[in-house]
Amino acid sequence: MIVIQAKDYDEMSKKAYESMKIVLTEKPDAVLGLATGSTPIGLYKEMIADYKAGAVSYKKMTSINLDEYVGLPVEHPESYRSFMNRNLFDHIDIVKENTHVPDGLAADLKLAADEYTAFAAAHPIDIQILGIGANGHIGFNEPGTPFDSHTHVVELKEGTRRDNARFFDNDIDLVPTHAVTLGMADIMNAKAIILLASGAGKAEAVRDMVLGPVSENCPASILQTHPNVLVVTDEAAGYYLN
Ligand code: GLP
């Protein structure tokens, strides 16, 4: 695990993009593992700007997103499909049919989850972008999720729903109670991983991920055992690493 501490959010996004760009330019048909949340938005802006400058094309690429809320209509502005369209896909030349987000509306969620796992296994992720939850979750794999898990439906912890209420008029009751997420084993299958963390609210999770024991109590700690992980924090999120 390599850890870079940037001074602020912008520098964090730029450093992450520098590393990601190596894969994007080396592999025109790369499979991108993508994340939602406020943390990767700056990285997505870097991707868009560089695409507009003509440096990278996404025409032959495939993307696989980590997670989606259960029961939220796709058109809802806070569905992760809407988020990805708005913050990235609508601004680059990736073919929409090649962008994949778990189906949180499937009649049979278990079957849809198994199909998503099979799709991810058949399209190994070249570069996985991750954020981190304040409790150390990655994707929506909450503390206690088995490290050998695959795509599954999760009941969201109250703290996670509270954190995400800012996107739902600050009303926790509007935040879905369940989500579907790639599992820990699926994430660990990525060839390379870049995890971004910004803000003081992530400092303890970053400390436990980097310095703590590898434990299901801090899902992100499993990344210590992955051969190719870059962690990029801003100053506040990296506070305990100095
Ligand atoms: C959300 C997402 C995660 C994300 C994390 C942090 O619940 N499911 O994929 O990394 O929480 O979000 P943010 O970047 O907004 O702090």
Write out pLDDT tens, residues 115-149. Answer: 999 999 999 999 999 999 999 999 999 999 999 99
Cα of 241 from ligand 1 centre, angstroms: 21
Write out pLDDT tens, residues 145-193. Answer: 999 999 999 999 999 999 999 999 999 999 999 999 999 999 999 999 9
Q: Which atom of ligand 1 is nearest to the CA of 36?
A: 9
CB 205 within 8 A of CB 231: no
CB 63 within 8 A of CB 92: no
pLDDT of 23 higher than 90: yes
Pocket test for ligand 1, best of 39, 154, 156 (most atoms within 8 A of CB): 39
- What residues are labeled active site? 67, 135, 137, 142
Cα of 180 from ligand 1 centre, angstroms: 13
Within 8 A by CB and 6+ apart from 47, the residues are 17, 20, 24, 56, 88, 92
Q: How large is the angle between the packed helices 41-52 and 9-26, nearest 10 degrees?
A: 50
Domains of the chain, by residue range, sit at: 2-189
| 99 in contact with ligand 1, CB cutoff 6 A | no
Question: Which amino acid appears at position 29 of this protein?
Answer: D
Cα of 119 from ligand 1 centre, angstroms: 23
Q: How many CB atoms lie within 10 A of CB 121?
A: 12
Write out pLDDT tens, residues 48-93. Answer: 999 999 999 999 999 999 999 999 999 999 999 999 999 999 999 9
Write out pLDDT tens, residues 195-224. Answer: 999 999 999 999 999 999 999 999 999 999
From the options 3.40.630.10, 3.40.50.970, 3.90.79.10, 3.40.50.1360, give the CATH code of 2-189.
Answer: 3.40.50.1360
Distance of CA 22 to the CA centre of its chain: 19
